[in-house]
C-alpha cells in the first residue's frame, strides 16, 4: 500500500549521495510527496593499493574487534574477502558498527550479527562507548579521507588501532544541472549524508546562493562539516538516519515559510 505521508509534498530536494547509494533516499523523498534531485557529489572507488587491506583481513585472528563506521567500509571489506584464497577465522572476532544501517549491511554482506552499536549513529560516540578489553586490538577499515579522531579516541583508551584504507571518496559527476536549478529557484533543500558530500558539493557547485538553502544533515558529524563550510540553516535529527533526517526536514517546512 502506498504511504499516505505527503509531508514533503512539492519539495524539490537535492540528493548528494553517491550514485549507487542515492536510490534509498530518493525513494523516501518520493514516498513523502517530494521530488528528489539527484546530484552525486561523491563517488566511491577502490583504494590505490589493495595490499594493506588484504593483509589485514588475512590476519583477522590477531584482532579483538573489527570496527565499521560506514556502509561503504562493509562493502569494501566484503568485496576484498571474496578475493582471498581461504576464508578468515571469525571465531574470536567481535564486530562493532556505527549505526543500524551499517549493522544491516554487515548482516547482508558478511552474514554476521554485530556485537556492538552505540545508542546514536556517531563514530566518536562509538569510540567512547565500545567495551574494550585490556590492550584491545582493533581493525578499522575506512575511507582515505576519514576523520582521524575516531582512531585517536580508541588509542587514548589504550587500544592498539590499525586503520586501513578500504576505499576512496572522490568528487562525483552527473545528475541535474544544479546551477540552472538554483538560478530558477527550483531547489528547496539540500541533503547531506556525510562530511565528504558537503565538501564536494561546494567543489561541484561553488555558488553563493546555495548557502541560503536549508541543509538537512544525517547526523552531528556531517552537520559540523556543513557549519564549518558556511551553511547555517541546518536541520539535524536527534537520532541519525535517512528517514529521521527527512522527518526533521518535513518538520522544518511546517514551521518555516515553505520553500523560501
- Residue pLDDT, tens place only, 31-57: 999 999 999 999 999 999 999 999 999
Predicted structure pTM score? 0.84
Q: Give the CA distances from residue 143 to residues 18, 44, 49, 138, 233, in Å, rounded to whole numbers and listed in that order.
A: 14, 9, 13, 16, 28
Which residue did the predictor score with more confidence, 94 or 86? 94
d(CA 253, CA 260): 9
Q: Residue 128: which pLDDT band, with cuts at 50, 70 and 90?
A: very high
Nearest to 141 by CA among 164, 112, 168: 164
Query: pLDDT > 70: what percent of the chain?
Result: 97
Of the two residues 2 and 131, the one the predictor is more confident about is: 131
- Whose CA is closest to 238, among 150, 149, 119? 119
Instruction: Copy the grid coordinates of residue 136.
Output: 584491545
Residue 91 binned pLDDT confidence (cut-offs 50, 70, 90):
confident
pLDDT of residue 198: 96
With cut-offs at 50, 70 and 90, classify the pLDDT of residue 258: low
Is the Cα dihedral 256, 246, 124, 231 positive or negative?
negative
Buried b (16+ CB within 10 A) or exposed e, 20-54: ebbeebbebbebbbbebbbbbbbbbeebeeeeebe
| Count of other CB atoms within 10 angstroms of residue 109 | 17
pLDDT (tens digit per residue) in 208-242: 999 999 999 998 889 999 999 999 999 999 888 88
Amino acid at each position: 500500500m502506498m504511504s499516505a505521508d505527503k509531508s514533503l509534498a512539492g519539495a524539490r530536494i537535492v540528493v548528494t549521495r553517491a550514485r549507487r547509494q542515492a536510490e534509498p533516499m530518493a525513494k523516501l523523498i518520493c514516498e513523502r510527496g517530494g521530488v528528489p534531485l539527484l546530484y552525486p557529489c561523491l563517488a566511491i572507488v577502490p583504494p590505490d593499493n589493495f595490499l594493506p587491506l588484504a593483509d589485514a583481513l588475512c590476519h583477522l585472528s590477531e584482532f579483538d574487534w573489527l570496527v565499521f563506521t560506514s556502509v561503504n567500509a562493509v562493502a569494501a571489506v566484503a568485496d576484498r574477502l571474496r578475493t582471498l584464497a581461504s576464508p578468515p577465522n571469525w571465531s574470536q572476532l567481535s564486530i562493532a558498527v556505527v549505526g543500524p544501517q551499517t549493522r544491516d549491511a554487515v548482516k547482508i554482506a558478511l552474514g554476521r550479527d554485530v556485537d556492538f552499536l552505540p545508542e546514536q549513529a556517531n563514530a566518536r560516540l562509538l569510540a567512547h562507548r565500545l567495551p574494550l578489553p585490556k590492550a584491545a586490538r582493533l581493525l578499522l577499515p575506512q575511507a582515505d579521507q576519514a576523520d582521524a579522531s575516531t582512531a585517536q579516541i580508541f588509542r587514548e583508551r589504550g587500544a592498539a588501532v590499525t586503520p586501513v584504507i578500504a576505499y576512496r571518496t572522490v568528487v562525483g559527476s552527473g545528475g541535474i544541472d544544479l546551477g540552472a536549478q538554483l538560478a530558477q529557484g527550483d531547489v528547496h533543500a539540500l541533503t547531506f549524508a556525510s562530511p565528504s558530500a558537503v565538501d564536494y558539493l561546494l567543489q561541484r557547485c561553488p555558488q553563493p546562493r546555495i548557502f541560503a538553502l536549508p541543509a538537512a544533515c544525517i547526523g552531528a558529524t556531517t552537520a559540523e562539516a556543513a557549519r564549518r563550510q558556511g551553511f547555517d540553516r541546518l536541520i539535524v535529527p536527534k537520532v541519525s538516519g535517512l528517514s529521521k533526517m527527512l522527518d526533521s526536514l518535513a518538520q522544518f517546512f511546517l514551521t518555516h515559510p515553505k520553500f523560501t
